[in-house]
Amino acid sequence: MSEEKSLNFIEELIENDLQSGKTKTLVTRFPPEPNGYLHIGHAKAICLNFGLTQKYGGYTNLRFDDTNPVTEKTEYVNSQQEDISWLGFEWKNELYASDYFDQLHGFAVKLIEDGLAYVDHSTAEEIATQKGTPTEAGKPSAYRDRSIAENLALFASMKNGELPDGACTLRAKIDLASPNMLMRDPIIYRIKHAHHHRTGDAWCIYPMYDFAHGQSDSIENITHSICTLEYVSHRELYDWFIEKLGIFPSKQYEFARLNLTYTVMSKRKLMQLVNENLVSGWDDPRMPTISGLRRRGYTPESIKEFCERIGIAKRENLIELSLLEFCIREDLNKRAHRVMAVLDPIKLIITNYTKGEETLIGENNPEAEDKGGTREIPFSNELWIEREDFMEEPAKKWFRLAPGATVRLKHAYIVQCTDYKKDENGNITEVYCTYIPESKSGEDTSGINVKGTIHWVSAQHAKTAEVRLYDRLFSVESPDSEEGDFKDYLNPNSMEVISKAYIEPSLVNATQNLGYQFIRKGYFSLDKDSTPENLIFNRTVGLKEAWKPKS
């Protein structure tokens, strides 16, 4: 974060509130519903909420918004916590809206007692018809003017399980002519005989989102309740409940949600991909989930940098996936160890190398201040090189291998191609070279200049690994805005598996928390399913992209 960076509108607002004394201690919350794994959109909300209290003091709560018993699971609670911690944020209190069921119920009773809520036996369709339209006032339900005593008795029957699902609802009595449709007597409690992941079977009535969220904020003394723009029209209702209940005046502020190209960003849709086995799970490296990005090799720093760069806006927009890729590439450029791996191998045989073998030394990371230390790289007369680094009939400006051409073998010697062999299908199988003994990297006295450098792995020393190459999950920029089902737009080539790549032996010690640059091939990370016997690497991101951020 550079100091001269201008404040976003929420920071401005908070600075004003702190200066005027309206806010003494800043308290924010991150309120996920535990109905799926968190995605990069949530990361934006996490960075914003936790970032604000890191900057201005105060604290941030993690509150699970678990008022919908049917969709919520403990598995999701755990994964959401893991993801927030991995991003590097610490919550002050771990809280659950379901812990407030008693208090929320008490608030509902208070509204009834104040003549501000009633039990309605109208069906969903009746309620919908009575609601009217934005230009035409709604009509009162036949049950709107029941007595307080009758409402209290009926609400008690609802709570005591005496009524089946859907028999009636509790509605706030607000304003049937309000231009804001949400103010036309919204439902605040419904009957649902369902098991809850925390409260078990204690309740068979559950509060609606609007009756739970603001009051939970208020119970926790949240000063700035930050949510996405879909909730703008809910703000009036949020304020109404707080005012009528006379509880802590939390305030809601809205910002634009993150939308990213070539993916979808909704737990519900991501769940479909998981359930229909269109991906391997929530943490499939192609998923925009935090766990997917982690498995793909993204670092917390790269995700935070991305969130910082996109900033906080008041209007919806669509962010390029390539910006996210730019951020991880920049980060890995600083951290990743450089290694050599050959993904599509052909043999290179050095006919005049009589030493048998030798050990060369390679710097791990020329971009790092300490160069990341060094490693040993075994060299011998038979190497694997990349098929695409040899051309039988070289194109113009071809600086790699071709009959008669010279290249440098990275960290090693200059070689010149003398011959090659093909199989019956015309595929190159072997390339023959001679090497120049005086041209060893770092002590080159040959005086020969070559334009190309290629990577290689010594055939007798090489280890093998499975390598998974990923592409965009969808083949269109905005699958949500296309006609038909978003799943029709999945990219059929989003994953390519190379079952046997040759890797340099130092990679047997690879660990999951380090990224690796396979020289000239991209950034890779060890997959969580990798074992010493069966190494698996995921390509995090390629090395280059024409796109650069406007700075």
Q: Any idea which residues carry the catalytic annotation?
A: 33, 257, 267
The beta strand positions in 372-413, using DSSP E, are: 374-380, 382-386, 406-409
Cα 392 to Cα 402: distance, rounded to the nearest angstrom: 6
Cα 19 to Cα 23: distance, rounded to the nearest angstrom: 8
Which region, judged by CB under 5 A, interacts with Mg ion, from 25-33, 179-187, 293-301, 375-383? 25-33
Query: CB 531: neighbour CB atoms within 10 A?
Result: 8
Query: CB 362: neighbour CB atoms within 10 A?
Result: 20
Smaller CB separation from Mg ion, 33 or 430: 33
Smaller CB separation from Mg ion, 32 or 522: 32
Smaller CB separation from ligand ATP, 26 or 360: 26
Smaller CB separation from ligand ATP, 244 or 309: 309
Q: How far is the CB of 305 from Mg ion (least distance, A)?
A: 26
Cα 450 to Cα 463: distance, rounded to the nearest angstrom: 29
Sheet with 94-96: strands ordered across = 27-30, 59-64, 94-96
Smaller CB separation from ligand ATP, 251 or 257: 257
Q: How far is the CB of 97 from Mg ion (least distance, A)?
A: 12
Which region, judged by CB under 5 A, interacts with Mg ion, from 32-40, 68-76, 331-339, 400-408? 32-40
Smaller CB separation from ligand ATP, 31 or 345: 31
Contacted by 173, from Mg ion, ligand ATP, none: CB < 5 to 8 Å by type = none
Q: How far is the CB of 33 from Mg ion (least distance, A)?
A: 5
Residue nearest to ligand ATP (CB): 41
Contacted by 207, from ligand ATP, Mg ion, none: CB < 5 to 8 Å by type = none
Binding residues vs ligand ATP (CB under 6 A) = 31-33, 41-42, 44-45, 65, 227-228, 257-258, 265-268
Smaller CB separation from ligand ATP, 42 or 159: 42
Q: How far is the CB of 258 from ligand ATP (least distance, A)?
A: 4
Q: How far is the CB of 42 from ligand ATP (least distance, A)?
A: 5
Which region, judged by CB under 5 A, interacts with Mg ion, from 30-38, 282-290, 428-436, 458-466? 30-38
Packing angle, helices 9-20 and 40-56, rounded to 10 = 30
Cα 48 to Cα 9: distance, rounded to the nearest angstrom: 12
Contacted by 257, from ligand ATP, Mg ion, none: CB < 5 to 8 Å by type = ligand ATP
Beta bridge pairs of residue 390: 401
Which two tokens mark 498? 């190379």
- Give, as ranges, the residues between 306 and 365 that touch Mg ion (CB under 5 A): none
Cα 364 to Cα 336: distance, rounded to the nearest angstrom: 8
Q: What are phi and psi of 29, to 5 degrees?
A: -145, 155
Please, are residues 309 and 549 in contact by the beta-carbon 8 Å criterion?
yes
Contacted by 265, from Mg ion, ligand ATP, none: CB < 5 to 8 Å by type = ligand ATP
The CA distances from residue 530 to 226, 495, 510, 527, 544, in Å, are 40, 17, 10, 5, 26
Contacted by 99, from Mg ion, ligand ATP, none: CB < 5 to 8 Å by type = none
| Biggest CA pair distance of the chain | 102
Taken as a whole, the chain contains a residue count of 551
Contacted by 267, from ligand ATP, Mg ion, none: CB < 5 to 8 Å by type = ligand ATP
Q: How far is the CB of 254 from ligand ATP (least distance, A)?
A: 9
Which two tokens mark 135? 């230009």
Contacted by 31, from ligand ATP, Mg ion, none: CB < 5 to 8 Å by type = ligand ATP
Closest CA to 551 of 12, 5, 55: 5
Cα 392 to Cα 42: distance, rounded to the nearest angstrom: 51
Closest CA to 226 of 257, 248, 191: 257
Smaller CB separation from Mg ion, 33 or 382: 33
Q: Is 33 in the site for Mg ion (CB under 5 A)?
A: yes
Q: Coil, helix or strand for 208?
A: coil
Contacted by 41, from Mg ion, ligand ATP, none: CB < 5 to 8 Å by type = ligand ATP
Which region, judged by CB under 5 A, interacts with Mg ion, from 27-35, 245-253, 383-391, 486-494? 27-35
Q: How far is the CB of 41 from ligand ATP (least distance, A)?
A: 2
Q: How far is the CB of 81 from ligand ATP (least distance, A)?
A: 13
Contacted by 45, from ligand ATP, Mg ion, none: CB < 5 to 8 Å by type = ligand ATP
Closest CA to 526 of 248, 295, 243: 295
Smaller CB separation from ligand ATP, 182 or 536: 182
Residue nearest to Mg ion (CB): 33
Helix (H) or strand (E) holding 117: strand 117-120
Cα 206 to Cα 200: distance, rounded to the nearest angstrom: 12
Beta bridge pairs of residue 190: 169, 206
Q: How far is the CB of 236 from ligand ATP (least distance, A)?
A: 18
Q: Coil, helix or strand for 159?
A: helix
Applying CB under 5 A, which residues contact Mg ion? 33
